[in-house]
Amino acid sequence: MLCKQSALPIRLPQYAGALPALMGLEMPLVRLLAAMEARGIALDAAVLEQQQPAMKKRMEQLQAAATALNGGVRVNLASPTDIRAVLFQQLKLPLPAHASGTRCDISLRTPEGVHCAP
């Protein structure tokens, strides 16, 4: 608890809207996730191998759709930098209200979907 008490006040002001999600969703999962990490989880390699072609096909479809939406310019869907460029530079989507400047990290989850540096 000492860590939780010391870390939250330092970083929380910029993420004040995320507190309900943090306390209601993420913190209750900490013990479960720690136990899973300590014990490991079972995966059926055969099932995963069976699903791989369908998942690969779906990713290719999503990649094609993203490329088409970006005027034929390929977007790496695994790259936060590429996605950020498309959303905020190419498509000119508005930055979230808490943003200052144009530096947004879409890899961090917030209620708005992106985190913009103060």
* Res 105: pLDDT: 54
pLDDT at 110: 45
Residue 31 included in any domain: yes
pLDDT of residue 100: 53
Mean pLDDT (10-residue bins), the chain, 118 residues = 50 66 84 91 93 95 88 87 82 71 50 48
Residue 115 lies in a domain: no
CB 74 within 8 A of CB 67: yes
Residue 28 lies in a domain: yes
User: What is the rounded CA–CA span in Å between residue 108 and residue 31?
Assistant: 21
Q: For the chain, how many structural domains are there in total? A: 1
* Residue 49 is assigned to a structural domain of this protein: no
For residue 78, is it within any domain? no
DSSP state of 98: T
48 in any annotated domain: no
Domain of residue 21 covers 1-42
